[in-house]
Amino acid sequence: MNMNGSRYWLQLLVLLLPLCWAVAAPAARPEISQPLPDFRKLVKQNEAAVVNISSTQTPRRRSSRSSGLPELPGSENPYLEFFKRFFQERPELPGDRQANSLGSGFIISTDGYILTNAHVAQDADKIIVRLSDQRERPAKVIGVDELTDVAVLKIDESENLTAVKIGDSDTLEVGEWVVAIGSPFGLELTATQGIVSAVGRNLPSGTYVPFIQSDVAVNPGSSGGPLFNLRGEVVGINSQIYSSTGGYMGLSFAIPIKLAMQVADQLKVTGEVTRGWLGILLQAVNNDLAEAFKLDRPRGALIAQILPDSPAASAGFKPGDIILRFGGEPVEDSSQLPRMIGVTPVGKTVAMSILRNGEPLEIKATIARLETTEERVMTMDEHSDPRMGIVVADLSNEQRRGLGNDDQGVLVTGLDEGPAANAGLYPDDIILQLNHTPVKSASQFVELAKELPNGKAVPVLVRRENESLYLAVRMPAERE
């Protein structure tokens, strides 16, 4: 082959090589996008287990200082003034006697047990549950736990009830798809979807609840409804939202179903929830406090106060102690500790690792029972006067010291329709004088009230918060 021929074949080979490589190389794989999940089957399988709840209650007069919002401590708290419950109390109007509140719930067993929020069911005179097929059934309140915002209802329906499947909220992960079904603004069986934004979220209004945060659209009326995972299992109860308008703004919070079922089991058996109590007041450890208490980083729960006659006092805890471990479990944040103590069986002795004056120490304490506000009120020495429509109780020593006197004042613990409520008295007011006579005990108050003249207005001196004011109570024209 001559030189020209060789050059020809070499040039041809150079031209063909890229083509050969292109043929031999594997084809580039197109990007496969993940399709969005299809929620149709999930909704169809569970919509019959979701119910609409209407509750009717007679409004109780309350202090004008009560806004219906959760008490959120700390002016720098990001939730302050924005964090709202779904059903805020509207202003009471003259002559207003009944209030209807709409919420959601879901059937947890075919014998008629229903889970919802405590703030949907509490204080209701009558509750009506509307099923997905528009059947309506009266419901009985089995139990309400305000600390977790969980309530259990029961309807007398033994046929054709569909119950949800209960999932494991402990296995939820951030980014997981979730679906809510409820009745926003009374629009029944509305489904919305989103993802889990955070787990174990600590909120000022939920000391005993590690909330599930999601971006599922939840609005007033969906409170108490279920939050599902993609397997169609309930993982939470929709409870609260973060909002500056009262409507959905991208942050909603659900009670983990594992905690809710633990509460429900106790409510079904005893009608109440028993929690452990240590008797300490806590505060969070920030960077400055960590440095001051010789911690390597902010962690643990700082004891700010020891309550008298408490397990903590008996065990030898001191203000300034920092609890780092509770029963072997690390305490990373002060908000964790109340939940740890709350689920501890009453009477159990727990070892706690603490830091005192920079030195590690172990203290053992026996957990006592947390007494609820309702139980404390029931143990008060209460007296009532039906003619005035009022119930009063003796003040505690601490309340008397707060007033600056040791022998005057009674606490208003209840009001019915009548002269006292019409005059503007509220629960938690302290009555100092009745018709110019100093009031020293609840029994004396009742005796004084019996002598009040018919059809006349008499002055009542009241202490409300840190201020005193006079109210005029007009007694009925004739004794009933």
Residues catalogued as catalytic? 119, 149, 223
Helices (H) and strands (E) in the chain, counts: 11, 29
Whether 399 and 411 have beta carbons less than 8 Å apart is answered as yes
Nearest-angstrom CA–CA distance, 226 and 63: 33
The H-or-E segment that residue 22 falls in is helix 3-24
Least Cα distance to 104 among 122, 131, 126 occurs for: 131
Least Cα distance to 240 among 120, 127, 141, 342 occurs for: 120
Kindly state the tokens that stand for 7: 């050059």
The H-or-E segment that residue 440 falls in is none
Residues 214-226 as b/e (b if ≥16 CB within 10 A, e otherwise) read: bbbbbbbbbbbbb
Nearest-angstrom CA–CA distance, 10 and 8: 5
CA angle 285, 287, 293 (to 5 degrees): 65
SS3 260: helix
One-letter identity of residue 260: A
Q: Provide the β-strand partners of residue 303.
A: 282
Whether 208 and 339 have beta carbons less than 8 Å apart is answered as yes
CB atoms within 10 A of CB 275: 23
Residue recorded with tokens 């209807």:
100
Q: What is the DSSP string of 384-436?
A: EETTTTEEEEEPPHHHHHHHT-SS--EEEEEE-SSHHHHHT--TT-EEEEETT
Nearest-angstrom CA–CA distance, 209 and 200: 8
Kindly state the tokens that stand for 136: 């309506």
